[in-house]
Amino acid sequence: MYRVIMLHCSGTSAVAHRCAKMRMFRSLHIPPEWVWLESVAVVSAAILVALVAHWLTMRIGGHAQRRSTAKTDGLVLARVRRPLRAVFVSVAVAFVSRILPMDNDIEDLWKQLLGFLVPGLLGWLAVAALRAFQDVIEIRADISVEDNLRARRKRTRAAILGRIGTFFIIFVSVCLMLLSVPGIRSIGVTLMASAGIAGLVVGAAAQPALKNLIAGVQMAFTEPIRIDDVLIVDGEWGRVEQINLTFVVIKIWDERRLVVPVSKFLEQSFQNWTRETSQLMGSVFWYLDPSADVPRLREKLGEIVTSNPRWDKRFYNLQVTDVKTDCIELRGLMTAKDAAIAFDLRCDVREALLKYIREEMPEAIPRNRLLMASDPMSRP
């Protein structure tokens, strides 16, 4: 039997390595019942060393974070702590498995398990690092400031590219896990040859989903919309709350949510009130009697607008924009720093000028006129 083993060991290098380990343990005169205990002890020691190395790494990172002025370093450490610990342990176990005495079947099963485990853990670590990067961008890009155009641009790109990166990391990790299976490697050429036909079939069946996915990638670079943009879509006024790869969530002013496919923002027209800046010009209309004193109303509008704290001190005016049968149309323009404040400013100015007309200029209220027979204007 020993001669058969030696002849088998002279074959391949992998088998020779296994036999060398078996001869080493035979030379040590270790009883067979103690081999499993020795293996468990070696694996446990490797796991302990990996945990200690992970603890030291976290301590060094925490010490560097406390000395740093950036508040985002602790967030990165919290994100990668758990996946990094799993990677340390898996690498340590994979390293010591080379010196463990195992049968051929057990060693093949062990390699198969590590072939699934290591790519999955590395993918988990990469996804955690990517999400930590997104969290850092969101913290540094504060959209609560007055001029938040650059911050909204950074957040939008980080959100879209982060989802794309997560998708590709998961895809590559799954591919590496499947490539560790010998059966899949052997039929890889066949799968690649049939990938073109399968791609055509899947592409035809999932055309809307792929269309929105490609539109989401395009949106990350063209930026027709950004996070917290004010939009008018399908007659609804709202802010962009979330941008995904295939759809966009818009928060309507009355707390409703409008879910829109991303392809719509590349194919159809919509209003973006904060494309370049959040500053807006609001308009208010009044319909008054033709005998109204417009210069007096213009002066009063100036007093109302300039005394309102919502006005951003850029521009205002009052003009007669139309003449109708029984009234004239007056339009007041005023500026504000964003859409929400502009809406409140318009309401304030509308109410204040109506109150002034009702109390101080009742003659400006529209009224119907009848021409009598004795009226000289009714004679031919």
> Is residue 193 one of the residues assigned to a domain?
no
The answer to whether residues 132 and 154 belong to one domain is: yes
The count of other CB atoms within 10 Å of the CB of residue 306 is: 11
The count of other CB atoms within 10 Å of the CB of residue 71 is: 11
With 0.75 as the threshold, say if the pTM is over it.
Answer: no
**Which residue(s) pair with 240 in the sheet?**
250
The answer to whether residues 176 and 40 belong to one domain is: yes
* CA-based radius of gyration for the chain: 37
Output b/e per residue, 163-202; b: 16+ Cβ within 10 A: bebbeebeeebeebbeebeeeeeeeeeeeeeeeeeeeeee
**Which residue(s) pair with 271 in the sheet?**
232
Q: For residues 11 and 17, give the distance between their C-alpha atoms in angstroms, rounded to a whole number.
A: 10
Edge to edge, the sheet with strand 247-252 lists 257-261, 247-252, 236-243, 230-233, 271-272
> Is residue 194 one of the residues assigned to a domain?
no
* Residue 250 DSSP one-character state: E
The answer to whether residues 81 and 61 belong to one domain is: yes
Q: For residues 223 and 272, give the distance between their C-alpha atoms in angstroms, rounded to a whole number.
A: 11
Output b/e per residue, 31-63; b: 16+ Cβ within 10 A: eeeeeeeebeeeeeebbeebeeebeebeeebee
Number of domains in the chain: 4
User: What CATH number did the domain enclosing 214 receive?
Assistant: 2.30.30.60
The answer to whether residues 46 and 81 belong to one domain is: yes
Here the tokens at position 228 are: 């917290």
Up-side HSE of residue 146: CA atoms within 13 Å toward CB? 5
The answer to whether residues 214 and 180 belong to one domain is: no
> Is residue 245 one of the residues assigned to a domain?
yes
Q: At what angle do helices 73-96 and 104-140 cross, to 10 degrees?
A: 170
Among the three residues 155, 187, 219, which one is the final residue of a domain in this structure?
187
- pLDDT given at position 329: 93
User: What CATH number did the domain enclosing 326 receive?
Assistant: 3.30.70.100
3-state secondary structure of 332: strand
The answer to whether residues 152 and 90 belong to one domain is: yes
- pLDDT given at position 376: 54
Q: For residues 225 and 332, give the distance between their C-alpha atoms in angstroms, rounded to a whole number.
A: 30
| Strand pairing class (247-252; 316-323) | unpaired
Of all helices (H) and strands (E), which one includes residue 26? helix 13-27
Residue 202: φ, ψ to 5°: -65, -40
- pLDDT given at position 276: 76
Structural domain of 44: 29-187
Among the three residues 137, 172, 187, which one is the final residue of a domain in this structure?
187
The answer to whether residues 324 and 267 belong to one domain is: no
Q: At what angle do helices 35-67 and 73-96 cross, to 10 degrees?
A: 160
- pLDDT given at position 122: 86
The answer to whether residues 39 and 175 belong to one domain is: yes
3-state secondary structure of 99: helix
- pLDDT given at position 337: 86
> Is residue 105 one of the residues assigned to a domain?
yes
The answer to whether residues 112 and 152 belong to one domain is: yes
> Is residue 378 one of the residues assigned to a domain?
no
The answer to whether residues 50 and 11 belong to one domain is: no
- pLDDT given at position 9: 43
Up-side HSE of residue 332: CA atoms within 13 Å toward CB? 27
The answer to whether residues 44 and 170 belong to one domain is: yes
> Is residue 203 one of the residues assigned to a domain?
no
Give me the average pLDDT of each 10-residue run along the chain (380 residues): 38 48 49 62 82 84 69 72 85 76 66 78 86 80 68 77 82 77 55 50 54 71 82 89 85 90 84 81 92 92 93 92 90 89 93 93 82 53
> Is residue 318 one of the residues assigned to a domain?
yes
Q: Which of 305, 299, 303, 294 is nearest to 346 (CA)?
A: 305
> Is residue 375 one of the residues assigned to a domain?
no
The answer to whether residues 167 and 126 belong to one domain is: yes
Among the three residues 222, 253, 272, which one is the final residue of a domain in this structure?
272
